Amino acid sequence: MDALGAIALCTEPYIKNKVKSEAELNFKRISRKNRIIEDHIWRTILGQVVYQFLVMIVLMYFGGLIFFEKPFHLIYTPIRDE
């Protein structure tokens, strides 16, 4: 959804002569060598990875004890006949 907007912004030519406001006078161009993802964003991403990994491990190994009265295993538990 954002791809067309990003392409439109990135392909717009930079016009140096047409300055309209004070904010545009102080505008600094961003180098292509700058990092896109900064340190605080990496910390947030890694924190979310650790949190989701721990929740997944807890649910995989202890989910049966938490959510079901009788523990079962999908491979070894026989099919219930009604």
CA 36 centroid distance within chain:
14
**Average pLDDT in the chain:** 78
Distance of alpha carbon 48 from alpha carbon 21, whole angstroms: 40
With the CA atoms of 5, 11, 14 and 19 taken in that order, what torsion angle do they form, in degrees rounded to the nearest 10? Answer: -30
pTM for this prediction: 0.48
% of residues, the chain, pLDDT over 90 = 24
- Percent of the chain clearing pLDDT 70 (strictly above): 63
